[in-house]
Amino acid sequence: MKQFFLTVLGVFTGLILFVVVIPMVLLTVAIAGASSKPETPASAVLELDLREGISDQPSTNPFAAFGGSSLSVLQVVDGLAQAEKDNNVKAVLIRLPEAGMTPATADELRQAIRRFRASGKPVIAHSQGFAPAGAVMSTYMVGASASELWMQNTAGFQATGFSAESLFLGRAFDKYGVRADFEQRYEYKNAVNEYTQSDYTPAHREAMTAWMTSLYDSALANAAQDRKTTPAALKTVIEAGPYSAEQALSNKLIDKIGQVEEAEAEIKRRAGKGAEIVEFGQYVSEKGERTGSGKNAIAIVGGEGAIVTGRGDGGSFGGGSSIHSDDTAGAIYDAIEDKAVKAIVFRVSSPGGSPEASEQILAAVRAAKAAGKPVVVSMGAYAASGGYWVSSEADWIVAQPSTLTGSIGVFGGKFVVADALGRFGVDMRDLTVGGQYADAFSSTQSFTPQQRAAFAGSMDRIYDDFITRVATGRKLEPARVREIAKGRVWTGAQALPLGLVDQLGGLTEAVAKAKALAKIPAGESVRFKHFPKSKSPWEALSEMFGVQSEAAQALVMLGGVMADPQAQALMQRVEGERMRSEGAVVLADQPMF
């Protein structure tokens, strides 16, 4: 009877997919085809709207559009590089978010904007205010890189520093009888602290203050350079705020006050008669990825999100991204087999995850090097913990000054909730067959001394393995690695003098280094090959039939609620907790910017 109902459910789900989903996809494609223009207007102004958020890399999910997917950093970098040489593109208008943005993302956007401006084309950035939220100085830094920075008349300039909040559950757990039974290696591996403490530990405060200061100083220095002042002078003015739009103008923090419609009119005037506004996403879609030219190719292998074992199904509508070890390792091996590929740029934007998955990917990096194909890692927003593990043995590592990296450490454990549930009349009991470690992760009781010794030993082994890989890859003494490890997060600017990265910059600098390592002359053109290849919606749909859980998930996630930033942040946190419970023990904190 159960199988009968499952079969009926499968047939019903299939009918829904054919009757609802496929027509929706066809309609979307038809509308897009009818509304898109085959060519960029003769006088175009690209409008880059950053208010909806921005990922690091283009989604490989064929249904990403249904989840409200936005542009990625790499698409913006690629699009601006093409627009720089496109005679039809005359200027760019940027819509800035009011709150903070990921600092390393801001670094890469700033660099791309400056390269575009170097072609002689103007850029106007427009802000509807700078709110005192997160790394808002990074948002201001992007605005400062434009030819002119405008602000709405009623907006406030409240970018006066950098703040971050941490949630501690230690007292609540004590009050309600929950025991967080964890091991961490070592004192800077702060993910455990939110469960065990009620305030920052000295190590937690030290590390967090250090990287926040690094991010703040870097944003100030870059903004000061672009505003043609000194970091000290800009810092004095910034920290004396907040300001009204008029006060911000008088303090030379912005260039002009006006509505966005006025900014659009001005940038169109500069672009020339008949200028039209073109959405940046539309331009990128029409132009496609840069393919380059020449007999030699550079492989761009992408990986964004938490690192997990297995393959990605590519079948959910929207949702976050993960680095699946089979897919990413397979992409590197595909690049190895491609005879045209002379070097690999591995773009990593990850807070880490599973040590087993990380090691599988690192083994593919080793294989590439053994095959004579240099590997250059380009670090995105995060390349910490497992994200650093997969990067550690590359030939060269390029990071943004504001990339969060390092976190060479490990943690793990469990929550004992039997007492807490007992207060509500819910009784948990445990039955075990087998060895004494079989119930080590039971939620009914704390580790026994023997179990803790065994578990602590596994944490030590993972930590030692991590140290060994970093020492080998970075050509550092293990003792030195242990000094700078301990789970501590560093910014790219801090990591450079420590030897954890080799160069500051973004994808452009990583590609240049890959060419040099492959002994391709600097002036010679190369082709770009992107791995892994994303599936088409049709391929993904065909794989979904007969798998009831995936089909149901696809239908549920069609709702626009998944596009809401707060919902995505919550899902990211839930996903992190799920991963931790399943053994993601080389996972770093992810600050919300």
Active site residues: 189, 385
Whether 92 contacts 266, CB under 8 Å: no
How many beta carbons lie within 10 A of that of residue 423, not counting itself?
9
Whether 473 contacts 392, CB under 8 Å: yes
- Burial (0-12, 13-18, 19+ Cβ within 10 Å), 250: exposed
Amino acid letter, residue 315:
G
Which two structure tokens, joined as six digits, stand for 190? 């702060």
Whether 444 contacts 527, CB under 8 Å: no
Asked if residue 186 has a cis previous peptide bond (ω within 30° of 0), the answer is yes
Tell which residue, 308, 493, 502, 486, has the closest CA to residue 408: 486
What letter does residue 447 receive in the DSSP assignment? P
Rg value, the chain, Cα:
25
Kind and range of the H or E run holding 462: helix 449-474
Q: Which residue has the tokens 């390592």?
A: 517
Whether 301 contacts 344, CB under 8 Å: yes
Cα separation, 476 vs 468, whole angstroms: 10
Cα separation, 517 vs 522, whole angstroms: 11
Cα separation, 130 vs 156, whole angstroms: 6
Cα separation, 476 vs 487, whole angstroms: 17
For residue 428, the number of C-alpha atoms closer than 13 Å in the C-beta half-sphere is 14
Cα separation, 357 vs 305, whole angstroms: 13
Q: Which residues are registered as beta bridge partners of 277? A: 45
Q: Among positive and negative, which fits the CA dihedral 272, 275, 279, 281? A: negative
Q: Please give the distance of CA 71 from its chain centroid, rounded to a whole number.
A: 12
Q: What are the two backbone dihedrals, phi and then psi, of residue 54, each rounded to the nearest 5 degrees?
A: -150, 130
Q: Pairing relation of β-strands 156-157 and 243-244?
A: antiparallel
SS (H, E, C) 517-571: HCCCCCCCCCEEEEECCCCCHHHHHHHHCCCHHHHHHHHHCCCHHHHCHHHHHHH
Q: What are the two backbone dihedrals, phi and then psi, of residue 95, each rounded to the nearest 5 degrees?
A: -100, 115
Whether 161 contacts 216, CB under 8 Å: yes
How many beta carbons lie within 10 A of that of residue 180, not counting itself?
18
Which two structure tokens, joined as six digits, stand for 410? 């490990």
Amino acid letter, residue 371:
A
What letter does residue 446 receive in the DSSP assignment? P
Q: Which residues contact 560 (CB under 8 A, 6 or more apart)?
A: 68
